[in-house]
Structure 1
Amino acid sequence: MVTFNFFTGTVTNISEFMTGQNGENQGCYSIVTLEDGLGAVVNFVVSPTTYFVDQQIVTVGDRVTGYHDASAPVPLIYPPQYRALIMVKEIAAQNVKVDFFNSELVSSDGVLRLNLSPNTSIVLTNSQPFSSYPGNRNLIVIYGPSTFSIPAQTTPYEIIVWC
């Protein structure tokens, strides 16, 4: 189970990140720099396996949330540099929650409870249908309005199962 941590900010720079010898991975990796407006800066290493919700293209000036594995080792440099697992570009009237959801579909932080409907699309990261129950898994949940209760409840538009 991945323990997700995130950072939200505005993209201030996107640059190529060289890996390997002789440039064999040239153009495959990039560094996306996010700034939160309060002085905090984070660099995300974006690889070919980084999942972009809705396959959104991210450009300088976009408001983005980057998710990384909180238990993964990171270099002790400033600004911090994390391997991006999931990137979410902010879109009006759309909320995204990335977390582990238990058997009752409550997020690990106890903030959100999912109510499934026949209209809820449940897919894998490769857009193929997921036919099992999504509980006890890491999920990317795309939803709109939610209740003001604790936990907030919502009927998601789409659930992406992070296997």
Structure 2
Amino acid sequence: MYNNQFPCWPHYRHQSTYPHFNATWKNAEPTFAAFSGTVTRIEDFYPVQDDASVGCYKLMSLENINRGPVNFVISPGTYFVDHEVVEVGDEVTGFYDTNAPALLIYPPQYPAIVIAKDTGDQNVTVDYFNNQLISSDGNLKLNISPSTKVILRNDQPFNRYPRNKNLIVVYGPTTKSIPAQTTPYEIVLLC
């Protein structure tokens, strides 16, 4: 007897002829989100049970009064703005990729891409900036000056215009225009 209880979607042999399928199948560009809070705990994290990764990964717990707790997995590839050492009690902001797979647990746990220690004299954002250096949400426009330091994650200079890239931007005051404009102190490329 035929059972039509579970619908089946056909697999098309030439998927390139179906642009909607290819456009929605995979979003290649990461979308970044941030969570700010007070560091309540830092401990070793073991993603794999082998001796090679022991001590290389950390689990950093943040607490925010309005949004609750969040855990960030700190890997050797996590970038710390200004190479700051973070300790329990520090106010930090963690940035993560919202398109990356995440465990459905409480508190939420995300792989950290960037960690920034909160200071009163500088702001940090992580986002995709287009060819006019406007952020993906349209809220920030960068005006690069000769004093703006443009570097790679390994602190080597980047000698091109940083358009159409994912950037870590360290900046100070902004204009009250839409989009807000700023001259960043430092731009780090997430290549």
Larger RCO, structures 1/2 (Cα 8 Å, 6+ apart):
1
Are residues 1:44 and 2:72 paired? yes
Aligned to 2:55: 27
C-alpha displacement of 1:20: 2.1
Aligned length: 163
Instruction: Give 5+ residue unaligned stretches, structure 1.
Output: none
- How far apart in 2 are the matches of 1:22 and 1:148? 52
Q: Distance in 1 between matches of 2:148 and 2:49?
A: 45
Task: State the shift of 1:21 in Å.
Answer: 2.4
Q: 1:119 aligns with which of 147, 152, 155?
A: 147
1:154 corresponds to which letter in structure 2? T
Is the 1:19–1:26 Cα contact (8 Å) retained in structure 2?
A: no
CA RMSD in angstroms comes to 1.1
TM-score (norm 1): 0.96
Distance 1:9 1:21 in 2: 30
Question: In proportion to residue count, which structure has more strand?
Answer: 1
Amino acid at match of 2:159: S
8 Å contact from structure 1 (residues 41, 79) kept in 2: yes
Q: 1:67-78 to 2 correspondence within 5 Å? A: 67-78=95-106
User: Residues 31-80 of structure 1, C-alpha deviation per residue, up to 9 Å, x if partnerless?
Assistant: 00011112511000001111101101011111111111100111111001
Residue 79 of structure 1 aligns with an amino acid whose one-letter code is P
Determine helix, strand or coil for the equivalent of 2:71: strand
The structural deviation recorded for 1:115 is: 0.7
**Structure 1 equivalent of residue 34 of structure 2:** 6
Deviation of 1:24 after TM superposition, in Å, equals 2.9
1:1-50 Cα distance to aligned partner (Å, 9 max, x none)? 22111111110111111232244311111100011112511000001111
Map 1:10-159 to 2 at 5 A. Answer: 10-38=38-66, 40-159=68-187
TM-score (norm 2): 0.82
Identity of aligned residues (%): 56
